[in-house]
Amino acid sequence: MKEFYDINPPKCKLEITPQKLTSHGVGAVSFNRIFRELGLKRLIKKKLKKKLRRRGYSDVCYVASLLASFLRGGRGLCGLDSLKKDKSYQDVVGLKGVPAPSSMGEYLRSFSQEELEVIYEILAEVVIRIIRRVGKGQILYNGWLYCFADGSLLEVRGRYFEGTEKRDYNGNRSLLWLCFYIGPFLANMRLHPGVYDQHGDFKELVEPFLKQLKKYRIHFFLDSAYYDHKVIEDVLEREGFNYTVSVNKAVSPLERLAEGLPSSAWETLRDDRQELRQVAELTHWPQGWGREHRYIGVRYRAKDEMFFHYYFILTNREDLSPSEVVELHAIKGDFENQQKNLLCDMGLHHPPMHSLNANRGYYTLAALAHNLLQGIKLLYLPPLYHTKRNHTLVHHVLQIPARVIKHARTLVVRLEQELIPSALHEYLLKLNTSGATTPPTPLRL
């Protein structure tokens, strides 16, 4: 006979003890580990010399506090209030104090353009350092390293946001956030006011990584905003990179070429959707470009439709058939979802401050926090977590609580074994044994 389950609340007693606890035990040790392993303190102190007076919070303290807030799942500057109350977390990561949200806002608003360039350099250097430590098998796909560039419009509420005088395509006030990804890492970014030609900053976004990228076989996924000879011919082809680019503008000549092809030129694709999809190869010399290029045309129609719809892909991958190019370019959708997930998981849909330079500094540090999360996943966690989104990583792993004890001049972080997923036991011990220039902070299970 099956047991009958019911509820019978026992008598319980509430006690308040002085024990030091943190609700983000694994997160604190992970941040401690990767911050020291990448040499972030030395890098920030060397490059960013904004706070010259030895008074108040240092540059490292401001940057580390905001990074820690992001890694705790904080959104906006108000996440600093939660970090400020967690003294045990501060002890583990080495923070002697956490600035208030108002102080952090004042710090970000004081950034000049030259100081922002330094933050961009720090972001690029951290990505390079993480890539050097991560195994090739964790960032390469079939021997290729995929890169992606895209932009997102960030809505603003109110008229007092600097740089939103120009309206977007829907007539709303917004800022344009341009991002350049190398694999899962947000390698570089720019925040621009209003409507902006995305291809104008492409070379600036990619340039810090050219030397590093040439060590791999690179493939770029780009959308129609980068369909321009200054991007394709002057950057990608000159540097010897492979690419596939969605073509959604100036398509009339391509459509005429596609409609003139015989039926035998079209290859039918297997598709689970209720429509007919066919691909064919085209060659076209766009006006103003330096040479003829290869295009893959795709036409499709539903079963109840009479006429075909078209879209096109520009590529230099001569080693792939038209159907293989279409299959490869579909990976671009995964990168677009990664960009959307980043906006949702870190609360970046709306800029938090009215100053444009303050928002630029805030979004750059958010990109740096995202890369630290990717580094924690790939360096310390099992493959099960390598594809998890940021909020899943924060809530399922980094928010495992712990007790913080000082013993024999060493800070010990003790985790309750019952709260740790079995898949993490072995990998959490890596936080004690990972190679670094300084001794690790002990983590005891």
Which residue ranges make up each domain of the chain?
21-113+355-444, 141-345
Residue of 354, 350, 362 lying closest to 154 (CA atoms): 350
Helix axes of 101-109 and 59-71: crossing angle, nearest 10 degrees: 120
Sign of CA dihedral 105, 111, 117, 122: negative
Distance CA 360, CA 295 (A): 37
Residue 209 near residue 178 (C-beta atoms within 8 A): no
Q: Give CA torsion, residues 415, 418, 420, 421, to 10 deg.
A: 170
β-strands 174-182, 443-444 pairing: unpaired
Give pTM, 2 decimals.
0.89
CATH 3.90.350.10 fits 141-345, yes or no: yes
Paired strand residues for 295: 282, 314
- Strand 410-415: give its sheet, edge to edge: 21-22, 402-407, 410-415, 443-444
Q: Could you count the other beta carbons within 10 Å of the beta carbon of residue 176?
A: 21
- Strand 185-193: give its sheet, edge to edge: 185-193, 174-182, 144-155, 217-222, 242-247, 309-315, 293-302, 275-284, 267-268
Distance CA 185, CA 130 (A): 9
CA 359 to chain centre: 17
Mapped onto helix, strand or coil, the DSSP state of residue 289 is coil
Helices vs. strands in the chain: H and E counts, helices first: 19, 13
Distance CA 35, CA 434 (A): 12
Considering just the CA atoms, what is the radius of gyration of the chain in Å? 25
Q: Which amino acid is at 108?
A: L
Angle at the Cα of 59 from the Cα atoms of 55 and 65, rounded to 5 degrees? 105
- Residue 43 burial by CB count (10 A; 0-12/13-18/19+): exposed, middle or buried? middle
Q: Could you count the other beta carbons within 10 Å of the beta carbon of residue 95?
A: 21
Distance CA 397, CA 399 (A): 6
Residue 425 near residue 445 (C-beta atoms within 8 A): yes
Residue of 174, 298, 316, 119 lying closest to 232 (CA atoms): 316
Please report, in tens digits, the pLDDT of each residue of the chain (445 residues total). Answer: 667 778 888 888 887 777 788 888 889 999 999 999 999 999 999 998 877 677 788 899 999 999 999 999 888 898 899 999 999 899 989 888 899 999 999 999 999 999 999 999 999 999 999 999 988 778 888 889 999 998 888 888 766 777 776 666 666 778 889 999 999 999 999 988 866 667 778 889 999 999 889 889 999 999 888 999 999 999 999 999 999 999 988 888 999 999 999 988 999 887 656 678 899 999 999 988 999 999 999 988 887 788 888 899 999 999 999 999 999 999 998 888 888 888 888 988 888 888 889 999 999 999 999 999 999 999 988 888 888 898 989 998 899 888 888 877 788 888 888 888 888 887 887 777 544 434 334 444 3
Per DSSP, which regions of 285-428 are E strands? 293-302, 309-315, 402-407, 410-415
Residue of 204, 237, 234, 201 lying closest to 218 (CA atoms): 237
